[in-house]
Chains A and B, each alone.
Chain A
Amino acid sequence: MFRNFGPKEFLLLAHGLQWTLALTASAFIGSGLLGLAILLLRTGRSRLLRWSAEIWTQVVQGTPLLGHIFLVFFGLALFDIDVPRWLAATVALSIYGSAFLAEIWRGAVEAIPKGQWEASRALGMTTYHELRLVILPQALTIAIPPTVGFLVQLIKNTSLASIIGLVELSREAQLVNGATFAPFSVYLCTSALYFGLCFPLTSLSRMLERRAAHSR
C-alpha cells in the first residue's frame, strides 16, 4: 500500500533541497565566469568578438532552458563522454545564466558616466586603482540587486534539471509522490521549500535596490 506523507517523507524532500542548493551554487559560479567572459567580449574592442557575444546572448535568450539542458545532455554524450547529470545540468544552466548575467552587468558598466573614467585618469590613477576605487564601487551598487534577483531565477530554474533525472527537490517530489500518492501535500511542501529559499533573496534584492537608488 501507499505510505503516508509524514516527517520521513519531508526529510526526503529536504534531501532533494540539498541538491537544489548544490546545483544552484555550481550553476551560479559557472554563469558568473561565463557571463564575465561574454561581458568582456561585448565591451571589448574587436567588432567580430562583440558580434559573437551579441549573437550568443540573443540565441541563448531566444531558446528555452529545457532545450539547453537536452542539447547539453545529449550533445556531450556525442563525444562518448559519460556525462553525470549534475554536470550536464550545471553546464546548461551556466550557458543560460551567462547571457542574463552579461546583460545585467553590461547595464551596470554602461550606467557609469564616461566622466568617471576620465576623472580618475586625470587624477593619475593606475588602472587598478581606477577600477578598485572609482568604477567597481559604483558598478557593484547597481549590479548587485539584479544579480541577486537572477539568483532567484536560477534557483527556480534548477527545477528543470529534474527532467533529465537529476534528483533535486522537484525530482524528489515526484519520487515521494509516487510512493505516497499524496500529490497535494507533496507539491504544496515542495513549493513551500522553494518559497522559503527564494523569498528572503527577493526581499534582499529589493532592499539593496532601494538602498542603491537612495545612494544615487
Chain B
Amino acid sequence: MNYSFHFAPVINRLDQLLSGLVTTIWISAVAIILGFMLGLAGAFAIRSRWRWLRIFLTAYVEVIRNTPLLSQLFFIYFGLPALGIRLDALSAAMIALVVNLGAYTTEIVRGGLDAVPAGQTDAGLALGLTRTQVFFLVVLKPALKIMFPALAGQFTLLMLATSILSQIGVEDLFHMASLIDSATYRSFEVYAVTCGFYLALAVGFRALFALLYWLLFSESAPIQVPPSIATS
C-alpha cells in the first residue's frame, strides 16, 4: 500500500460536516416524532372494527416493509410529479421517512399491544372505564415498556438510513461528505470521519433512549417480555 492518509483537508472542512450533522439530527428527530405518532395511530386503527381500514393498513405495512427505502424515496420524489404532485427534496425526504417509519412502528406497537394480557383490558372495562380510557391508561404504558427496545432500535436504524437522502440532494451529513470528497479527493478519509460522526450519533441515541426508559418506566415493576416480541 503506497497510500498516505491525509486528514487535514477533511478537518479543514469540518464546519461543512457539522452543518450536515445538524441537518441529519433535526431531520431524524422530526421524522421519528411524526413516524411514531403515525405508527401509534396505525396500530390503534389496525385493531379497529372496520374491516376496510384493517385491510388498508395491513397492505400499507406490508408494502413498506417489503420494499427498499431507496425505491420509496425515488417513487415519491421522481414518480409522484407524474400525478401532478411536485415536492422539493426535503419534503419528499420527510414524507418518505415518516411513511416508512410509520409502517415499522405500526407493526412494533401492534405486537406490543397484543402482548399486554387481555385480563388488563377486561379489568379496566369492569372498573367502568371507556375503551379509549382503557387504551391510554391501562394498556399503552406496559405495552410501550415491552416494545421500547424494538422501537429504540428502529429509530436508530432510521437515523442511519437518513444517509440515503443524500441521493436526492438533501444536504445531510452524507451529502456534505460527498461534496468534500469531490473537492479534496480524500474519499477514504472523508467517509471514515463521517462514519465516526454517525457512530457518535448512534451512541448518543442509545444514551438518550436509556434515559427516556429510565424516566418513563423506572418506578414500575419489570414486565416479562414474551419471546415472540423479543425476536421480531
Looking at the complex, which of A34-42, A44-52, A121-129, A154-162 is the stretch in contact with chain B? A154-162
Q: How far is the CA of A61 from the CA of B203 in the complex (A)?
A: 10
Specify which of B72, B161, B231 is in contact with A146 (CB 8 Å cutoff): B231
Q: Is B160 a contact of A159 with CB atoms below 8 Å?
A: no
- A65, A74, A187: the one contacting B71 at CB < 8 Å is A187
Q: Which residues of B contact A186 (CB under 8 A)?
A: 79
Question: Is A79 part of the binding interface, using a Cβ–Cβ cutoff of 8 Å?
Answer: yes
Q: In angstroms, how far is the closest chain A Cβ from the Cβ of B106?
A: 15
Q: B71 contacts A162, CB within 8 Å? A: no
Main secondary structure of the interface of A (DSSP, over half): helix
Rounded to whole Å, the gap between the CB of B9 and the closest CB of chain A is: 14
Which residue of B has the minimal Cβ distance to A108? B231
* Structural contact, A187 and B75, CB atoms closer than 8 A: yes
Is B188 touching A191 in the complex (CB atoms < 8 A)? no
Given contacts A62-B198, A183-B79, A183-B81, contact A209 B231 (CB under 8 A): yes
**Chain B, range 70-95, C-beta contacts under 8 Å to A:** 70-72, 74-75, 78-83
Closest to B71 in A: A191
CA distance A213 to B187 in the complex (A): 48
Residue of B nearest to A192 (CB): B67
Name B72's closest neighbour in chain A (CB-CB). Answer: A191
> What string of 1s and 0s marks CB contacts (under 8 Å) between A149-184 and chain B?
100100011011011000000100110010000111
Interface string of B128-172 (1 = CB under 8 A from A): 000000000000000000000000000010001101101100000
Contact, CB under 8 Å: B188 / A75: yes
Main secondary structure of the interface of B (DSSP, over half): helix
Total interface residues on A, CB under 8 Å, equals 49
Which residue of A has the minimal Cβ distance to B185?
Answer: A74
Q: Which of B2, B71, B203 contacts A159, CB < 8 Å? A: B71
Q: Give B40-72 interface residues, CB cut-off 8 Å to A.
A: 62-63, 65-72
Interface residues of B in 192-232 (CB under 8 A from A): 192, 194-195, 198-199, 202-203, 227-228, 230-232
Query: Which of A78, A107, A188, A199 interacts with B79 by CB under 8 Å?
Result: A188
In the assembled complex, the Cα of A56 lies from the Cα of B156 at a distance in Å of 17
| Chain A, 78-123, CB within 8 A of any chain B CB | 78-80, 107, 111
Q: Which of A63, A156, A198 has the most C-beta atoms of chain B within 10 angstroms of its own C-beta? A: A63
Chain A, residue nearest B196 (CB): A63
Kindly list chain A residues whose C-beta atoms are within 8 Å of the C-beta of B202.
Answer: 61-63
Q: CB within 8 A of A66: which of B3, B79, B81, B174?
A: B174
| Interface contact B191-A183, CB-CB below 8 Å | no
A164 to chain B minimum Cβ distance, whole angstroms, is: 11
**A202 within 8 A of partner (CB):** yes
Look across to chain B and name the residue whose beta carbon is closest to the beta carbon of A79: B1
Residues of B within 8 A of A75 (CB): 188
What distance in Å separates the Cβ of B95 from its nearest Cβ neighbour in chain A?
14
How far is it, in angstroms, between the C-alpha of A74 and the C-alpha of B188 when the chains are bound?
A: 6
Of A63, A79, A199, which one neighbours B160 at CB under 8 angstroms? Answer: A63
A194 and B1 contacting across the interface, CB-CB below 8 Å: no
- A202 and B62 contact, Cβ closer than 8 Å, known pairs A67-B191, A67-B195, A75-B188: yes
Known: A64-B160, A68-B195, A183-B81. 18 other contacts (CB 8 A): A59-B199, A62-B203, A63-B198, A64-B163, A65-B160, A74-B187, A78-B1, A79-B1, A111-B227, A145-B231, A149-B232, A152-B66, A173-B74, A182-B82, A184-B75, A186-B79, A198-B66, A199-B66
25 CB-based A-B contacts, threshold 8 Å: A59-B199, A61-B202, A62-B198, A62-B203, A63-B195, A63-B199, A64-B195, A66-B163, A66-B174, A67-B163, A67-B198, A70-B191, A71-B195, A75-B188, A78-B3, A78-B188, A142-B231, A145-B231, A160-B68, A162-B70, A173-B71, A195-B66, A198-B67, A202-B66, A213-B228
